[in-house]
Structure 1
Amino acid sequence: MRFSPRDNAFFDLFEADARNLRDGVRLLSEALASDADRADLAVQLKEVEHQGDEHTHDIIRRVNSTFVTPFDREDIYRLSSALDDVLDDVDAALDLMVLYRVGELPSGVGDLVDVLARAAELTAEAMPRLRTPSELTDYWIEVNRLENQADQDYRRLLARIFSGEYDALTVHKLKDVVDTLESAVDGFETVANIVEQIAIKES
Structure 2
Amino acid sequence: MFNKKPDKFSLYLVDFAKHLNEAVDYFVHYKVKDTETLKEFASNIKRRESEADDKVHEIIKDLNQAFITPIEREDILQLTMNLDDIMDGMEEFSATMDIYHILSSDDYMDQFTDYILKCSQEILISTELIANNQLKEVEPHAIKIKDYESNCDDLYRESLRSLFQLEKDPIKVIQYKEIYEILEEIADYCQNVASTLQSIIMKNA
TM-score (norm 1): 0.92
Alpha-carbon distance, 1:104 to partner: 3.5
1:201 to 196, 200, 203: 203
Aligned position for 2:129: 129
- Matched to 2:21, the amino acid is R
3-state SS of 2:69 partner: coil
Aligned position for 1:35: 33
Aligned position for 1:119: 119
C-alpha separation between the residues in 1 aligned to 2:11 and 2:160?
Answer: 39
3-state SS of 1:102 partner: coil
C-alpha separation between the residues in 1 aligned to 2:156 and 2:96?
Answer: 17
Matched, 1:187 2:186: no
Unaligned runs of 5+ in 1: none
Worse-matched range after superposition: 149-158 or 159-168: 159-168
- Matched to 1:191, the amino acid is V
- Matched to 1:52, the amino acid is A
1:170 to 169, 172, 175: 172
Alpha-carbon distance, 1:100 to partner: 0.7
Aligned position for 1:91: 91
- Matched to 1:35, the amino acid is K
Question: What does the per-residue CA deviation read over 1:172-191, in whole Å, with 9 as the maximum and x for residues that have no partner?
Answer: 11111111111111111100
Alpha-carbon distance, 1:49 to partner: 0.6
Alpha-carbon distance, 1:105 to partner: 3.5
CA 1:104–1:166 in structure 2 vs 1: closer, same or farther (change >3 Å)? farther
C-alpha separation between the residues in 2 aligned to 1:195 and 1:99?
Answer: 35
Aligned position for 2:162: 160
Aligned residues: 198
C-alpha separation between the residues in 1 aligned to 2:168 and 2:116?
Answer: 25
Alignment of structure 1 residues 57-96 onto 2, 5 Å: 57-96=57-96
Alignment of structure 1 residues 16-27 onto 2, 5 Å: 16-27=15-26
Question: What does the per-residue CA deviation read over 1:93-125, in whole Å, with 9 as the maximum and x for residues that have no partner?
Answer: 111011111234331111001000111111112
Worse-matched range after superposition: 101-110 or 176-185: 101-110
C-alpha separation between the residues in 1 aligned to 2:106 and 2:137?
Answer: 38
Question: What does the per-residue CA deviation read over 1:19-60, in whole Å, with 9 as the maximum and x for residues that have no partner?
Answer: 1111221222134x3637221021111111111111111111
Unaligned runs of 5+ in 2: none
Question: What does the per-residue CA deviation read over 1:136-191, in whole Å, with 9 as the maximum and x for residues that have no partner?
Answer: 11101111111111111111111111114241111111111111111111111100
Aligned position for 1:45: 45
TM-score (norm 2): 0.91
Q: Is the 8 A contact 1:133 1:196 kept in 2?
A: no
C-alpha separation between the residues in 1 aligned to 2:27 and 2:96?
Answer: 12
C-alpha separation between the residues in 2 aligned to 1:132 and 1:198?
Answer: 12
C-alpha separation between the residues in 2 aligned to 1:183 and 1:133?
Answer: 27
